[in-house]
């Protein structure tokens, strides 16, 4: 074809396209293209707070689900060096073998579970991707997933997007927000396939001890369920040692264990996590991963290697500081008369605001507008969250004290 | 060392003004228990002094600092201690350390002017018996002292609310 011919053909195509598009525009709004499964997802409950916060000054935030520490410098520096060396390529789908080998060792040391670095471990773009992959890899349309709430906001939408059906079980203050085996049993149907666990828990700060997990494991085995366990806060367990359900007799093969570096190493923005489990399950997740994410960013993988090599000291230092803040915050909440379950893990306190007569959303909204303290209403975290307020203590002690003072003023203003 | 002791020391190292009551809150324990442990640590010499960290560079009438390295010839039976202790007695001297490497002893001096410091070294230290040579480094700017960064840092922004 000559240049003229190409040009003529192209211009004809453009004309045709134009006509077609104009016809479409008259019939459909862009919005109408959105898939109904997405349209029907509830909007995030914290969106509203972003809108209020914009333009506000001197806000103290207890609303953040991430450490206030920057990633330790040696980890950042290792990443910079790795970039200088030109490590900018794809890695294998499963992630760098060096990282998987180190993870295998570190999990063996922490939990005494052996995962083969070759087939049992997948490096993901944050635990968020791992959660999505796990659901997509195991759910057939209509399969039910038991989700204990209050919990992190993504699980239910992730189940729905994977074609599954979430079945919510509520954990209660009365039980220290632990999951009870009888509640799991009551939620079982013929279609139940998966039980989701997330302990230490966001937003309650609850943990499950080995004894607690043993009761759950009995129900799981009896009913042939699969466990997907998000343990991203495992290193931030303040009382006793973290227990994973995968440690229990016979449970390793039934568990997809998810974890990452975000919370323990202050690496939220790096987006680096991992999944471990039976090779068939991790293999299935890898399939989805290779066609979507391809691999986790190599920079973040390099940083994670450094974190595993030399990150322990600073991780423990951060944990000790969180623990001090935990004690400080809980005792201060007590002082101003907000009853609070003593959180055992993660970095959240979950005080009850029921006595104020306000809904958790009203409370959070008015606390923000009147006293400029941002916290997240418990209702955002699903059933059982109403009546509570999630306050992150991943912020400096000075800010915690100032925030408590403002909350006290707010309560006084309410005549409480 | 017990975790409890270590925790108390960490809090105090960061903030000498922390009261036993405040420390007890942070550690989730009782004020009496903390006070008792602090007293024990003071008595046993683990806690030597409660100090304030001052950035003298921000004060008009500031100081000049120098790090001085010494090579010394050893005295029989006395080792390095005799000379190190002798240097330590001068009030101008802030720290004295026995070091490995090319030199034997390293110490820091604080003075009002470079001249002050230079004369102190030549008059008082170089003339000491056993000192073979000195090497004086004046401090031009301090970026970090006692684990505290002295230059202005901007804090990266976090989102105010996240799930």
Q: Do A64 and B156 touch (CB under 8 A)?
A: no
Q: Are strands A273-276 and A255-260 parallel, antiparallel or unpaired?
A: antiparallel
Instruction: Provide the shortest C-alpha distance from residue B10 to chain A (in Å).
Output: 10
Instruction: Provide the shortest C-alpha distance from residue B144 to chain A (in Å).
Output: 15
Q: Which of A54, A64, A316 to probe the B interface (max B CBs under 10 A)?
A: A64
CA distances from A127 to A72, A105, A233, A243, B88 (A): 20, 19, 11, 18, 55
Q: Do A324 and B27 touch (CB under 8 A)?
A: yes
Q: How far apart are CA A248 and CA A184, in angstroms?
A: 18
Tens digits of residue pLDDT in B18-46? 999 999 999 999 999 999 999 999 999 99
- pLDDT (0 to 100) of residue A52: 85
- Chain-centre distance for alpha carbon A17: 43
**For residue A298, which phi and psi values (nearest 5 degrees)?**
-65, -35
Please tell me whether the peptide bond between A56 and the residue prior to it is cis, using omega within 30 degrees of 0. no
Residues of chain B contacting residue A374, judged by C-beta atoms under 8 Å apart: 160-161
B12 CB within 8 Å of a chain A CB: no
Instruction: Provide the shortest C-alpha distance from residue B107 to chain A (in Å).
Output: 29
Contact A250, A221 (CB under 8 A): yes
Helix (H, G, I), strand (E, B) or coil at A44: coil
Q: Do B162 and A64 touch (CB under 8 A)?
A: yes
Biggest CA pair distance of chain A: 84
Q: Do B161 and A63 touch (CB under 8 A)?
A: yes
**Local structure of residue B57 (DSSP, 8 states):** G
Q: Do B162 and A46 touch (CB under 8 A)?
A: yes
Model-level pTM? 0.88
Residues of chain A contacting residue B162, judged by C-beta atoms under 8 Å apart: 46, 63-66
Q: Do A374 and B28 touch (CB under 8 A)?
A: no
pLDDT at B154 over 90: no
Per DSSP (E only), the strands in A86-177 are 121-124, 144-149, 165-170
pLDDT bin (cut points 50, 70, 90) of residue B158 is confident
Q: Is A220 exposed, middle or buried (0-12, 13-18, 19+ CB in 10 A)?
A: buried
Q: Tell me the mean pLDDT per 10 residues along chain A, length 416.
A: 62 60 71 95 82 88 92 97 96 98 98 98 98 98 98 97 98 97 98 98 98 98 98 97 97 98 96 98 98 97 98 95 97 95 97 95 95 96 96 96 97 87
Residues of chain B contacting residue A53, judged by C-beta atoms under 8 Å apart: 160-161
B11 CB within 8 Å of a chain A CB: yes
N- to C-terminal Cα separation, chain B = 39
Instruction: Provide the shortest C-alpha distance from residue B23 to chain A (in Å).
Output: 9
Tens digits of residue pLDDT in A96-154? 999 999 999 999 999 999 999 999 999 999 999 999 999 999 999 999 999 999 999 99
- pLDDT (0 to 100) of residue A404: 98
Closest C-alpha to B34, from A342, A330, A324 = A324
Q: How far apart are CA B129 and CA B87, in angstroms?
A: 12
Q: How far apart are CA A200 and CA A42, in angstroms?
A: 25
- pLDDT (0 to 100) of residue A255: 98
Q: How far apart are CA A249 and CA A349, in angstroms?
A: 32
Helix axes B20-27, B3-14, angle to 10 degrees: 130
B163 CB within 8 Å of a chain A CB: yes
B158 CB within 8 Å of a chain A CB: yes
Per DSSP (E only), the strands in A175-254 are 192-197, 226-230
- pLDDT (0 to 100) of residue A370: 95
Q: Are strands A373-374 and A60-61 parallel, antiparallel or unpaired?
A: parallel
Number of Cβ within a 10 Å radius of residue B65? 17
- pLDDT (0 to 100) of residue A5: 63
B160 CB within 8 Å of a chain A CB: yes
Residue A50's closest chain B neighbor by CA? B161
Helix (H, G, I), strand (E, B) or coil at A219: helix
CA distances from A288 to A136, A145, A282, B60, B96 (A): 8, 19, 10, 65, 62
Residues of chain B contacting residue A126, judged by C-beta atoms under 8 Å apart: none
Of A50, A154, A325, the CB nearest to B161: A50
């Amino acid at each position: 074809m000559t240049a003229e011919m190409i040009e003529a053909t192209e211009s004809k195509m453009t004309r045709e396209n134009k006509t077609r598009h104009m016809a479409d525009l008259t019939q459909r709004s862009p919005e109408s293209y959105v898939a109904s499964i997405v349209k029907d997802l509830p909007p995030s409950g914290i969106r509203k707070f972003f809108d209020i916060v914009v333009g506000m000054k001197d806000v103290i935030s207890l609303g953040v689900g991430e450490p206030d520490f920057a990633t330790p410098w040696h980890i950042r520096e290792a990443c910079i060096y790795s970039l200088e060396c030109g490590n900018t390529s794809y890695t294998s789908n499963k992630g760098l073998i060096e990282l998987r080998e180190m993870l295998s060792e570190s999990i063996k040391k922490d939990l005494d579970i052996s995962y083969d670095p070759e087939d049992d471990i997948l490096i993901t773009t944050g635990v968020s991707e791992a959660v999505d992959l796990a659901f997509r890899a195991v759910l057939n349309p209509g399969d039910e997933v038991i989700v204990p709430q209050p919990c992190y906001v993504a699980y239910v939408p992730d189940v729905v997007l994977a074609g599954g059906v979430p079945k919510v079980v509520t954990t209660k203050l009365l039980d220290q927000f632990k999951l009870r085996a009888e509640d799991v049993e009551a939620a079982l149907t013929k279609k139940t396939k998966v039980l989701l666990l997330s302990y230490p828990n966001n937003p309650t700060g609850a943990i499950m001890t080995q004894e607690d997990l043993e009761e759950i494991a009995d129900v799981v085995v009896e009913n042939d369920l699969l466990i997907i366990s998000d343990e991203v806060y495992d290193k931030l367990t303040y009382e006793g040692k973290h227990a994973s359900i995968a440690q229990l007799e016979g449970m390793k093969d039934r568990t997809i264990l998810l974890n990452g570096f975000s919370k323990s190493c202050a690496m939220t923005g790096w987006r680096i996590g991992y999944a471990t489990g039976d090779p068939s399950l991790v293999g299935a997740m890898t399939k989805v991963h290779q066609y979507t994410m391809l691999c986790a960013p190599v920079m973040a993988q390099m940083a994670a290697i450094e974190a595993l090599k030399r990150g322990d000291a600073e991780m423990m230092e951060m944990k000790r500081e969180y623990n001090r803040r935990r004690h400080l915050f809980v005792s201060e909440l007590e002082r101003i008369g907000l009853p609070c379950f003593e959180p055992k893990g993660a970095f959240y306190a979950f005080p009850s605001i029921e006595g104020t007569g306000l809904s958790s959303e009203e409370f959070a909204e008015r606390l923000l507008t009147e006293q400029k303290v941002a916290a997240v209403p418990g209702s955002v975290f699903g059933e059982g969250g109403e009546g509570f307020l999630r306050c992150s203590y991943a912020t400096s002690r000075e800010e915690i004290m100032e925030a408590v003072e403002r909350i006290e003023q707010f309560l006084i203003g309410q005549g409480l | 060392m017990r975790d409890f002791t270590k925790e108390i020391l960490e809090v105090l190292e960061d903030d000498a003004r922390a009261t036993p009551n405040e420390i007890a809150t942070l550690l989730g324990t009782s004020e009496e228990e903390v006070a008792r442990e602090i007293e024990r640590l003071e008595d046993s010499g683990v806690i030597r002094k409660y100090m304030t960290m001052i950035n003298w560079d921000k004060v008009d009438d500031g100081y000049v600092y120098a790090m001085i390295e010494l090579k010394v010839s050893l005295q029989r039976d006395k080792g390095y201690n005799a000379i190190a202790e002798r240097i330590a007695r001068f009030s101008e001297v802030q720290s004295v350390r026995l070091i490995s490497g090319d030199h034997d002893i390293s110490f820091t001096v604080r003075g009002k002017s470079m001249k002050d410091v230079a004369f102190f070294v030549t008059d008082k230290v170089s003339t000491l018996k056993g000192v073979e040579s000195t090497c004086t480094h004046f401090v031009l700017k301090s970026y970090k002292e006692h684990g505290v960064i002295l230059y202005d840092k901007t804090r990266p922004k976090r989102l105010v609310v996240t799930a």
